[in-house]
Amino acid sequence: MEITIAVVPVAGLGSRLLPATKSQPKEMLPVGRKPVVQYVAEELTRAGMERILFVTGPGKASIENHFDLNPELIQILRETGKEDLLAELYFERVDVRYFYTRQRELLGLGHAILCSRPFVGDQPFVVALGDSIIGMNAASDVVRRMIDVFAQQRAEAVIAFEEVPRSDVHRYGIADPKSDGDVFELADVIEKPSVEEAPSSLAIAARYVFAPSIYDAIDRVAPGKDGEIQLTDAVRILLREKARVIGVRLRNDERRYDIGNFDSYFRAFVEFALNDPRSGAALRQALEEMLHVDRA
């Protein structure tokens, strides 16, 4: 069965990015020239998605506005001959349909995914976190590879993983893989383990493919201490019931850019800006001067 629906949760508070996110969604922060969520939508469109459902919340209306057609702006740019700027709005016209639903209570990522159930129904679907870009300029086909693995291996879930430094494992869901390799079956996944407990350095990397059975699993997750329903706990329920859950490693050239905290946001912005075809070279020179780097 072809998978053509993606769910993009964007309802979170983004409190780690305050005050930048006080009155704007973190998913709308720019990385280089585009807001984060535009890279995500472009990646999903290239992966063959025909419908993208955003799970939104209060204060997130600018995401909807961003994907709307804007005929007045198009007309002004056309009348004033600004063809180059018109090209920047091409993304409004790509062949994908956008849908929106609200997560009425912020009860965690698992709960946000559950809000997509009435839309998705009884078919497999993709989940892409709205605050993470995969690959420079989102040039990644990992979702396509995951969909292929999902079909070939008759999996219940396929999850993208990225190798992270050992010292960072406590920040992520970490794989306990049954084997080595770029595609591996999962024995377990451990949420934010200590360095000693971590069975690997492979961290969940913001992309998933799920069979609809994930919804029943989320339904059965007990809320954590903070009242949140974690997606990783639902994946563990699948694993306990002997479902096939497969991991797919990101390639070296398709890093995950996580915009959820300032350290990784700043790095992502600088890296994308340095790669910008129009402004990158001048920025590089300015940075070298700032940092007193001698050019050999």
The binding site for ligand UTP (CB under 6 A) comprises: 9-16, 27, 55, 103, 106-109, 111-112, 129-131, 260
249: closest CA among 184, 201, 182?
A: 182
Q: Which is nearer to ligand UTP, 20 or 87 (CB)?
A: 20
In the complex, minimum distance from the CB of residue 127 to ligand UTP, in angstroms, rounded to a whole number: 9
In the complex, minimum distance from the CB of residue 20 to ligand UTP, in angstroms, rounded to a whole number: 11
Structure tokens at 135: 């690959």
Q: Which is nearer to ligand UTP, 53 or 142 (CB)?
A: 53
Contacts of 69 (CB under 8 A, 6+ apart): 92, 93
Beta pairing partners, 245: 157
In the complex, minimum distance from the CB of residue 129 to ligand UTP, in angstroms, rounded to a whole number: 4
Beta pairing partners, 247: 159, 184
CA 161/CA 212 separation, integer angstroms:
21
Q: Which is nearer to ligand UTP, 47 or 107 (CB)?
A: 107
8 Å CB contact between 219 and 160: no
CA 50/CA 72 separation, integer angstroms:
26
In the complex, minimum distance from the CB of residue 98 to ligand UTP, in angstroms, rounded to a whole number: 16
Q: Which is nearer to ligand UTP, 66 or 111 (CB)?
A: 111
Nearest position to ligand UTP, beta carbon: 12
Q: Which residue type, as a one-letter code, is found at position 242? A: K
CA 115/CA 102 separation, integer angstroms:
7
In the complex, minimum distance from the CB of residue 140 to ligand UTP, in angstroms, rounded to a whole number: 17
Q: Which is nearer to ligand UTP, 11 or 155 (CB)?
A: 11
